[in-house]
Structures are given as structure tokens and as C-alpha cells.
């Protein structure tokens, strides 16, 4: 998987204060649905990635992890800052520092997110924007060679 940034999508959409990814996606319910789809894909297709998360009795990524990620995405995409109000600043590198995140894990994470966005029908300029931003963050979290 290439980590090169792509040119802006053909419709040239760029977020503004009035037109955020959060609003383009349809609000909190849609963002939480993306988080659910993301973990559903992970559970089904990326077992090594799922295994580094807290799992429930059925061996699936647990409800608390799914809810926290959904809350994080809501704020990160421009919606209400529920995550920060509840858990403080995301400090992504610190919160993921105990996990070995190499290129393979980064790419597995991105595959899950891309398939989740496919399932949620995220396309066009919003999709191009999110593909780039998710790739940047996933690469930023790498902390292990390979």
C-alpha cells in the first residue's frame, strides 16, 4: 500500500467550519456507524489487528473500544468533542505507544478503514479527504521498524 498523498479529488472538496467531514457524513449516528463497520471488518478480515484490542466473550473487539473510537472520530471529523470531554486530549502516540505499530499493522488498519468507508458509501471529495487524513494518522502512529 502506497502512503503517497493523492492529488485532491476531482470535486475539489475541502472542509470548512460550516462544511466539515462530520456534517458531510451525516452526523454522530453516521460516524458511529463507520466505527462499527471498521471494527466489523477488522474482526472478520484482520485477526492480528483485532487481537491487539480488548476483546469480548465472542472474541470480537469489545463495545467500549468501539464506542471510544466512535467518540474520537466524531470530534476528529469536526463534530462535538465528547471524547475530549470524557477522556481528555486524545494523545494518539502516547495511547498507542505500548503497541508495536509497524508498516504491516498500519496497512491492516488502513484496509479496515477503507473497507468500512466502502460499506458506508463514503465517496467523492469526502472520501479523498478521509483517505489522505487516515493515511497520515496511521503512518504517524508507526513506532516499530518494518
9 part of a folded domain? no
Burial 131-143 (b: 16+ CB within 10 A, else e): bbebbeebeebbe
Mean pLDDT confidence for 90-118: 84
5 part of a folded domain? no
Q: Is the pLDDT reported for residue 136 higher than 70?
A: yes
Q: Is the pLDDT reported for residue 7 higher than 60?
A: no
Residue 129 belongs to what domain range?
Answer: 22-141
2 part of a folded domain? no
- Which CATH number do you get for residue 114? 1.10.490.10
Predicted pLDDT at 120: 97
User: In the structure grid, which three cell numbers stand for residue 142, read together?
Assistant: 508507526
Stated pTM of the model: 0.87
pLDDT tens digits for range 12-53: 799 999 999 999 999 999 999 999 999 999 999 999 999 999
Percentage, residues of the chain above pLDDT 90: 73
pLDDT tens digits for range 114-128: 999 999 999 999 999
Q: Residue 110: pLDDT band by 50, 70, 90 thresholds?
A: very high
User: In the structure grid, which three cell numbers stand for residue 66, read together?
Assistant: 468501539
Domain count, the chain: 1
Distance between CA 121 and CA 124 in Å, rounded? 10
Amino acid at each position: 500500500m502506497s502512503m503517497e498523498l493523492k492529488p485532491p479529488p476531482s470535486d475539489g472538496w475541502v472542509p470548512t467550519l460550516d462544511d466539515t467531514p462530520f456534517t458531510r457524513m451525516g452526523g454522530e449516528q453516521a460516524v458511529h456507524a463507520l466505527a462499527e463497520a471498521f471494527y466489523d471488518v477488522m474482526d472478520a478480515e484482520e485477526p492480528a489487528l483485532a487481537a491487539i484490542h480488548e476483546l469480548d466473550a465472542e472474541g470480537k473487539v469489545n463495545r467500549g473500544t468501539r464506542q471510544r473510537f466512535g467518540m474520537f472520530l466524531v470530534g476528529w471529523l469536526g463534530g462535538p468533542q465528547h471524547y475530549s470531554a470524557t477522556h481528555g486530549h486524545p494523545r494518539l502516540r502516547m495511547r498507542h505507544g505500548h503497541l508495536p505499530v509497524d508498516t504491516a499493522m498500519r496497512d491492516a488498519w488502513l484496509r479496515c478503514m477503507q473497507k468500512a468507508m466502502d460499506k458506508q458509501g463514503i465517496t467523492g471529495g469526502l472520501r479523498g479527504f478521509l483517505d489522505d487524513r487516515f493515511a497520515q494518522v496511521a503512518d504517524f502512529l508507526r513506532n516499530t521498524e518494518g
